[in-house]
Amino acid sequence: MFPILYAEAFLDHRTGAYHPERPDRLRAIVQRLNAQPWAEQLHWQLPSDRPELLNLIMQVHPRDYVESIKRIASRGGGRIDMDTSISASSYDVALLAVSAWLDAVDLVVHQGQPSFVLARPPGHHAERDRGMGFCIFSNAAIAAHYALKQFTIDRVAVLDWDVHHGNGTQAILETHPQFAYCSLHESPNYPGTGSNSETGYYQNVLNLPLPPNTTSETYRQVFQEQVIPFLSNFRPDLLIISAGYDGTKADSISQMLLQPEDYQQLSQWCLEITPHLMFGLEGGYDLDSLSQSVVKTLEPFMVVNP
């Protein structure tokens, strides 16, 4: 069985009419996953209730920032930047999303089991003391810090294939030699970071900015020639994939030319780097290509009967 970390409460993060990061993203993915011939191989798992959750989050985000998000939500909501909305439920939903990412770490550490975190809001743009780019808490970075507390984990890598550079994840992880961060992203595009000259404090960052209209062929070549060697040489005990799907040709938020089928190959290559991996949803806003891409990401893990 392949675990999917999901809760209907993730739909309660309301971003407003016409906002691309909307609850329908998850609805579309759930519907398509349940329509697959291997749907019975999925184990839908609710995130854990973690008494220590706030302490784990505050190892990455300062208390003042966390409390500011709670305060805005308690007043009915607001904006923390022009792109990032908070509704009355968003603080609780964002906490639940972090818990789901931590559950995925536990599945790898304690059961050797990969999983997919189907949660929102996303997280890779959230910096230590600032939410931005639809993101509130830095889910992948919090998960990476949590993983290092586990006895069997000494090195954690984050691979970010969202079409936007994960500025928050990089900023939080690059100062620690036990973390590595790798990103393939469109450039120029939001948030304007992710130059290939940014290599981290310990040569532990690999940024691969790609021009608009980059094709599947180029993505695959860059992955084989640069991503795989970088991550393999780092030898992570856990590989966290910030799985964004806004690089597809159908997604209006970028100008890249990927197809859903490409994520099946990327997922297969990740599995060959290490079986100790987890996926967490970041971007992806065209509902059809988003849901197809998630299906393709999971196909290498499914047993298909002839």
* 181, 156 contact by CB (below 8 A): no
Pairwise CA distance, residues 209 & 247, whole Å? 13
Which residues touch 5 (CB under 8 Å, ≥6 apart)?
45, 46, 47, 100, 101, 103, 104, 115, 116, 117, 118, 119
Pairing label, strands 84-87, 77-81: antiparallel
Start-end of H helices in the chain: 24-34, 53-57, 63-74, 90-111, 139-148, 167-173, 216-222, 228-234, 260-273, 287-298
Pairwise CA distance, residues 92 & 96, whole Å? 6
Pairwise CA distance, residues 48 & 88, whole Å? 21
Active-site residue (options: 13, 61, 124, 125): 125
* 118, 6 contact by CB (below 8 A): yes
Closest listed residue to residue 200, CA positions, set 224, 223, 172: 172
Pairwise CA distance, residues 25 & 290, whole Å? 8
125 in catalytic set: yes
Six token digits for residue 14: 């309301």
Which H or E run contains 78?
A: strand 77-81
Active-site residue set: 125
